[in-house]
Amino acid sequence: MILVTGGSGLLGSYLLLSLLKQGNKVRALATQQKSIHKTLQIFKLFQAEHLFEQIEWHYGNITDTEFIFDLLDGVDFVYHCAAVVSFSPTQVEQMNMVNAVGTETLVNGCLERSVKKLCHVSSVAALGSNGTDEVNEETYFLYHPNNTAYGISKYNAEREVWRAVAEGLEVVIVNPSIILGCGDWNEGSSAMFKTAYKGLKYYSNGITGFVDVRDVAEIMIQLMNSSIKNERFIVCAENLPYRQVFDMMHDCFGQPHSSINASRTLASIIWRLEKLRSMISGKLPMITRESVNAAFRQVYYANNKLIKALNYKFIPIEQSIKTHCSLFIKSRSGEV
């Protein structure tokens, strides 16, 4: 039996689809039943509703020790995708609980139930930065004022995983860059496609890593099926400017390219106004200080360790964008 936590999220959904296509028996964790419709939509996009029906769903809180220990009964392999991703300061406590405390609870359960191997989904946000050089798996996290609350929570989660390694659990850790895929078009990285569909006039000079969600799922499965253990791997196909990525999306949607360079001053004004709007409306801010800082940061991530370990060939980002833009249009047309 295989357990996938975060089964209703973008990566968890694609991972479940891949595992089921390979004939595996899977159990999936989601916080609540109504959230799994997002997973079903992804299965429908790939005409795989019959596989969705094979998932053994469980609903609960990943920080609930008794629930997690029971959930792990009879489980041999665990893919830990559950996480809260946010730049909002109002969700810091929730990120710490789910990402760090939840991981602690899960690895304790894996040790207690003698799970054979765990694949932990971390993030490049849990790595350090060394200035102009490429960040690699040995670029260790250092506390800094520019660290995001999300990055800190994922770093603390990794610490729990390494602690479990010292106690005898076999693990592999993946540190994905920004994951591109079709999921809930209103949240996470999938929202980039909706933004580009409407047209984005402004651009920043930021650079970061991108990877197709299908690559991340496939790499996780290959690592779990290999003899590799107690290693972590950056999962990044290409390092690209945000502007270039959005303009590839614009091309797919027939929108003009971004033409106005957003200065830090303008961006600082916008996030402050958005914070005020959020305080009045009670809704999460669409732009925050952390998201603005990320948009201007220029970071390059090395992928040579993973390529060497698995002899892996990534989907080119331009091809990835074309695929997911097409699926976005398909989903909006009501075909799914």
Model confidence at 202, pLDDT cuts 50, 70, 90, reads confident
Q: Tell which CATH architecture fits domain 2-182+208-239+300-316.
A: 3-Layer(aba) Sandwich (3.40)
Q: What is the pLDDT of residue 199?
A: 82
Q: Is the pLDDT of residue 237 over 80?
A: yes
Sort residue 47 into left (φ over 0), alpha (ψ -120 to 50) or beta.
Answer: left
pLDDT in tens, 72-111: 999 999 999 999 887 777 778 888 999 999 999 999 999 9
Find the mean pLDDT for residues 275-300.
60
Find the mean pLDDT for residues 272-293.
55
From CA 82, how far away is CA 72, in angstroms rounded? 15
Find the mean pLDDT for residues 161-168.
95
Q: Is the pLDDT of residue 323 over 60?
A: yes
Model confidence at 275, pLDDT cuts 50, 70, 90, reads very low
Model confidence at 47, pLDDT cuts 50, 70, 90, reads confident
Q: Is the pLDDT of residue 255 over 60?
A: yes
Task: Judge whether 82 and 98 are in contact, CB under 8 Å.
Answer: yes
User: What mean pLDDT, rounded, does the chain reach?
Assistant: 86
Q: What is the pLDDT of residue 143?
A: 75
Look up the pTM and report it. 0.89
Tokens of 124: 């490049």
In this predicted structure, which of 44-58, 78-92, 322-336 has the lowest mean pLDDT? 322-336
Q: What is the pLDDT of residue 271?
A: 42
Q: What is the pLDDT of residue 14?
A: 95
pLDDT in tens, 105-157: 999 999 999 999 999 999 998 997 755 578 999 888 877 767 788 889 999 99
Q: What is the pLDDT of residue 108?
A: 95
Contacting residues for 77 by C-beta, under 8 A, at least 6 apart: 1, 2, 3, 115, 116, 117, 118, 119, 224
Kindly tell me the burial class for residue 99, based on how many C-beta atoms sit within 10 Å of its own C-beta (0-12, 13-18, 19 or more): buried
**How far from chain centre, in Å, is Cα 163?**
23
